[in-house]
Amino acid sequence: MRTALAVAAALLAIPLLIGAWGGMESTGGGEVAVVRDGGPLDDNRVRQVIDPGSGLTWTGMWSAVHLYPAQQRFYTITADAKRATTLGVDVVTVPSSDGVNLGIEGTLYFTLNLDHETLKQFDDKYGTRTFRAGDGSLYPWDGDEGWSAFFGQAVRPVIDNALRGQIGAMRCAELVPSCSLLKSSALQPQDSNANITKVQNAVNASLARDLPVMLGGNFLTGLRFTLAKVTLPADVQQAVDRSLSAAAAVSEAEAKVAQAKAEAEANRARQDGYDKCPACAEIDKLRSLPQGITVYAPGNPQSVVVPSR
């Protein structure tokens, strides 16, 4: 009987010890924790929020701890594999107002709102569901891949929509100066920096307005989008390159014509001088002879030229 009681006590104590040991949690400097009750007799509501850089904190037995990034993060849209985020290499393709599909690359900087009540709302809304990641699905708190999966499916569409709204109102040449070559063979360089800044400011204003509405809360703060690059489709870029080459060839030909005209004018002036001064022509001939010539008989086909020793 005592043995059976001892065994029963041990079987009861082991899970209690495991639960108690697992009920202690700490966070690093770059992460914040949302703790949800998870014991057999508990509900699944948010229990508490643990701030970044905390010491060991009691979270209750069998509670679930969801770790989220607490530092500034960035999401990069780029065709450069070395700079791409976990979601991979991509660009946002947006048609300009004159119908040219422009490839947009840029980076969105942001920080998760660390207000406790806001974090609880965020975990209720997004921390309890999964997002597609490769062949499976992940929670937003499943490391960088899980966070990127959430961001790509919940936030990225809002970014794309903001870019379409702003880029679609601009002409191609306003963002890519070389687009002007598609309509004119003359080089007409334009300064696109002011327009790019205008687009950035408008996108930032749009994201600050639309993201809280689309996400259902002010979950992201410090939003700042930087437009890094605007590219042309491959066939359009080839047309631009051909226009540049043609313009360069025209410039080169014009330079050669100008040089020939200048040389002809110089020759005419020189000949006019010789007509007025025949002796000058002979002097110039002597000056043009190679060094070392000792005998010179102009007009005599039998003359002998002997180099000096």
Q: What's the pLDDT tens digit per position in 165-212?
A: 999 898 888 888 877 766 644 445 456 788 889 999 999 999 999 999
| Structure confidence at residue 178 (pLDDT) | 75
Statement to judge: residues 90 and 37 lie in one domain: no
Domain count, the chain: 3
260 belongs to a structural domain: yes
180 belongs to a structural domain: yes
pTM: 0.67
| pLDDT greater than 80 at residue 282 | no
> For residue 108, what pLDDT band results from cuts at 50, 70 and 90?
very high
Statement to judge: residues 33 and 172 lie in one domain: no
Statement to judge: residues 81 and 222 lie in one domain: yes
User: What is the overall mean pLDDT for the chain?
Assistant: 77
Statement to judge: residues 149 and 254 lie in one domain: no
Side chain identity, residue 236? V
Alpha carbon 81 to chain centroid, angstroms: 11
Statement to judge: residues 60 and 76 lie in one domain: no
Highest mean pLDDT: which range of 37-51, 154-168, 252-266: 154-168
* Residue-range definition of the domain harbouring residue 198: 71-232
Residue 34, H or E segment: strand 31-36
| pLDDT greater than 80 at residue 118 | yes
Statement to judge: residues 194 and 92 lie in one domain: yes
Statement to judge: residues 84 and 215 lie in one domain: yes
Statement to judge: residues 158 and 76 lie in one domain: yes
* 3-state SS, residue 221: strand
Contact 223, 214 (CB under 8 A): no
Statement to judge: residues 80 and 197 lie in one domain: yes
pLDDT in tens, 127-157: 999 999 888 999 999 999 999 899 989 999 9
d(CA 115, CA 128): 19
Statement to judge: residues 90 and 108 lie in one domain: yes
Statement to judge: residues 75 and 218 lie in one domain: yes
> For residue 219, what pLDDT band results from cuts at 50, 70 and 90?
very high
Statement to judge: residues 48 and 149 lie in one domain: no
Radius of gyration of the chain (CA): 39
14 belongs to a structural domain: no
Q: Which two tokens stand for residue 253?
A: 């030909």
